[in-house]
Amino acid sequence: MSAQSHFSTQKRVPLKGSTRKAFDVSRAGALVSPAKEGESITVSVLLPRKTPIDPTVRLTREQFAEKHCADPGSEKVVRAFAAEFGLSVEGPAERGSRTLHLTGSQEAMEKAFGVTLQSHATAAGVLRLREGQITLPEEVAPCVEAVLGLDNRPQAKPHCRAAKPHAGNVSYTPVQVAQFYGFPANAKATGQTIGVLELGGGYRTADITAYFKSLGLSAPKVSAVLVDKAKNSPGNPNGADGEVMLDIEVSAAVAPGANVVVYFAPNTDQGFIDAISTAVHDSTNKPSVLSISWGGPESTWTAQAVTALDQACQAAASLGVTITVASGDDGSTDGVTGGGNNVDFPASSPHVLACGGTKLVASGTTITSETAWNELSANEGATGGGVSTLFALPTWQANSKVPAPTTSTGGRGVPDVAGDADPATGYTVRVDGQTSTIGGTSAVAPLWAGLIALANAASKQDVGFVNPTLYADPKAFHDITSGNNGAFSAGPGWDACTGLGSPNGTAIIAALAPSTSASGGKSGGKSGGKHSGKGR
């Protein structure tokens, strides 16, 4: 057997979890062509790690890279496979990452991965689509955990909603919301970096400068990291720009002194996962918290993408990076027509802090009422929440009385926490030169990211994966006991609308402070289980 045909003559086996459902034909237009000649495609190939991650063990970046880098034997096989099929290879970009980027023609990709790619005209533009399974030579299959990017259909949507003009609507600045929730007065997050993940849109520095001047605050340093050839491309105040600006302005306004790094990526499963991996392993900017306000129903993800994204979140936990994620704006169905109850992913990952929404009414600096956000009757959204069908009940939720799952694999309750999200009581923000009011659970993820940044600054170390600690200290929350999101109702304690409740900022920071041992030394905080407390 010649070296040139080593893999091409082997039996092919399906890549586990790679099955793609057909694109909804009602959304797809005419077939443009079976293949776009001359189009170069880059896919992300995720390799097995040298050793599996234990997210409860805190490691420095150097320790993580040494222990959990890509398996060298698998990388060698995949590089040889790529060469045989005429694909160039780049990566991993950071040693702690395990992603190889393979680039080649559409014809080469089809032969390498055993797929047929078609181009369709859709409302989202011309998309490259596949359906069914990816197959690999039997020697290569054990060396690959996921292949992402062959299909570039949109994977997620932003969970923000612009307020509609109604009598009685109010809006608050993020600074006011922080006051309502008891964030410590004059607290600073100096030295912290908040990461924000965006799958579209962009920001203008002039808007950020003007907005923070209006708040009487110094503008944060905001920089962009471009993933998979994405761009910072502002242009539509009614589109993704609203999400980008909401995330930057809320997180930085409630955590003065923090830097913000925006990770822009294409809205595909490949872009989403590459963006999280890039942020988590970013040894230049080193974000201590990552805010994600994008997602989609669990049923819309391939199994390989769910596993790959959750594993990126496990890596974050091990590295002490907290991830806050919006739980969705479409109530208990998560917008799935006729599909019963659904939760949004990645909010349903057990390795993130899922953020639900409330309707907050205040007088002066005092909250007068707070209920689960539900404006479904006016077609204006409701907080996402429910029970995962993919992830089991985590140990730290064992006493939360989470409703029974509908599948044997499910059980994780969503959300974990909440905050003001109803656009009728939304946030005053600046987008593309215009002042507007925006809500949605998209606002809650950066609100909590800012609070985590303040906790990190107060602790002088990263609090990391916070869920076990927060569930152990329910008194640090304002318990939301009224309202519903459709199928689930708010009530005393945890519920599938507002989780544990909205934050008492000072109490949350105190709960996340490192505990002091009898010997006078400090542990890695209450949130880490076996965390060593070492820096990143």
In this structure, are strands 289-292 and 193-198 parallel, antiparallel, or unpaired?
Answer: parallel
Contact (Cβ atoms closer than 8 angstroms) between residue 243 and residue 236:
no
Closest by Cα among 414, 422, 413, 416 to 357: 422
In degrees and rounded to multiples of 5, residue 457 shows phi and psi of -65, -40
Structure tokens belonging to residue 342: 């659904």
Query: Tokens 């899922």 label which residue?
Result: 354
Structure tokens belonging to residue 460: 């002088």
* Positions marked active-site: 243, 247, 442
Closest by Cα among 272, 352, 277 to 305: 272
Alpha-carbon distances, residue 396 vs 2, 403, 416, 473, 514 (angstroms): 55, 15, 11, 11, 19
Query: Tokens 């069908």 label which residue?
Result: 389
The DSSP code sequence of 144-183 is -SEEESS------EE--EEPP--TT-EEE-HHHHHHHTTP
Q: How far, in Å, CA of 51 to CA of 212, rounded?
A: 45
Alpha-carbon distances, residue 426 vs 162, 177, 391, 489 (angstroms): 8, 10, 31, 22
The DSSP code sequence of 177-221 is HHHHTTPPTT---TT-EEEEEESS----HHHHHHHHHHHTSPPPP
Contact (Cβ atoms closer than 8 angstroms) between residue 477 and residue 466:
no
Q: How far, in Å, CA of 349 to CA of 50, rounded?
A: 23
CA angle, 198 then 199 then 202, to 5°: 60
Q: How far, in Å, CA of 69 to CA of 133, rounded?
A: 27
